[in-house]
Amino acid sequence: MDRLEMVRRAVDFIEAHLGEDVTASDAARAVYLSPFYFSREFAAISGYSVGEYIRGRRLYLAALELVRTDVRVLDVALDAGYDSPESFTKAFRRQFGASPAEVRRARRVPKPFLPLNITEQVQGGTKMDVRIENMDAFKVVGVSRRFPGETGYRDIPAWYDELQAAAKTDPALAPLGTVAVCVDDNGTEDFAYWVARPYIGGAVPEGQAVLEVAAHTWAVFTATGPLPGALQTVNTAIFAEWLPGNPDWLPDAPITVENYLPGDMDSPDYRCEIWVPVKPKV
């Protein structure tokens, strides 16, 4: 199935299971895709992370129940997946700009959050700067941290800045940052992000580890411009424009590599690469 059909089926699955403890991993399994790629493509095509969509839909259904019935707020909160009226009220106010009690009194939901209707046609990105390369397995050494898929664009640059600041007093961190690897290593909604350098042997610094990246055929994309904006823009385009409906290639493994070339990362001419493992469509 193509990527748009995948999102349509995932939305249908989520809608059918909103009353249960449905997760992005559940929806990914329903469309036979890894949570890593599913979460990225869902967000790229729909404009929402999977978690945002599920929360938004549950809160909207909860708001409708408050407007249409006299069920206690506590019971509505529990049905929506919240373990306390306080956490429910906080999320409810963030989405609707009003408390559950205020919405009930007004008998009107301020902002609808309807099921997604995926109709836009997304074409493969023939204009993107991409080449296909076969590469042997290689190793990197560095540090890693886990991030939720929906906050990675915000949290990873902040962590990278922390590492760069720490590198001023810790020589073991100073070589890191020429390579980054993003990998879904346990099939969950979050992922491991490595800030690293190529590893060619020798002692591994304390607090660091070695990661082996298997041999793959890679789609290598070039991003030009200051970081992190240029890289994040290309990364989003890969999953929103290049992979969906691509006539030749499918994703092959839940991993991507960021290759940082020498230069000023704040320059408008800076170039780096994103590697995505692919396999031919049969």
Q: What pLDDT score was predicted for residue 122?
A: 43
Question: For residue range 178-190, what is the model confidence (pLDDT) as tens digits?
Answer: 999 999 877 677 8
Concatenated DSSP letters of 233-265: HHHHHIIIIISTT-SSEEE-SSEEEEEE-SS-T
Residue 222 belongs to what H/E stretch?
Answer: strand 216-224
Identify the pLDDT of residue 8. Answer: 87
Task: Determine contact, residues 177/164, Cβ cutoff 8 Å.
Answer: yes
Q: What is the pLDDT of residue 124?
A: 40
CB atoms closer than 10 angstroms to residue 259:
16
Question: Residue 126: what pLDDT?
Answer: 37
Name residues of the chain where pLDDT drops below 50.
Answer: 121-126
pLDDT of the residue at 233: 87
Determine if the peptide bond prior to 110 is cis (ω within 30°): no
Helix/strand/coil (H/E/C) assignment for every residue in 155-196: HHHHHHHHHHHHCCCCCCCCCCCCEEEEECCCCCCEEEEEEE
User: 109-125 burial by CB neighbour count: b if 16+ within 10 A, else e?
Assistant: beeebeebebeeebeeb
Beta bridge partners of 251: 278
Question: What pLDDT is recorded for position 220?
Answer: 95
3-state secondary structure of 208: coil
CB 40: neighbour CB atoms within 10 A? Answer: 27
Question: Which tens digits make up the pLDDT trace of 232-279?
Answer: 989 888 887 788 768 788 889 999 999 999 999 999 999 999 999 999
User: Is this structure's pTM higher than 0.75?
Assistant: no
* Beta-bridge mates of residue 143: 195
Taken in order of first residue, the domains within the chain and their CATH numbers are: 3-106 (1.10.10.60), 130-280 (3.20.80.10)
Q: 135 - beta bridge partners?
A: 216
Element (H, E) at 138: strand 138-148
Q: What is the pLDDT of residue 123?
A: 43
As a whole number of angstroms, the distance between CA 71 and CA 66 comes to: 7
User: What three-state secondary structure class fits 49?
Assistant: coil
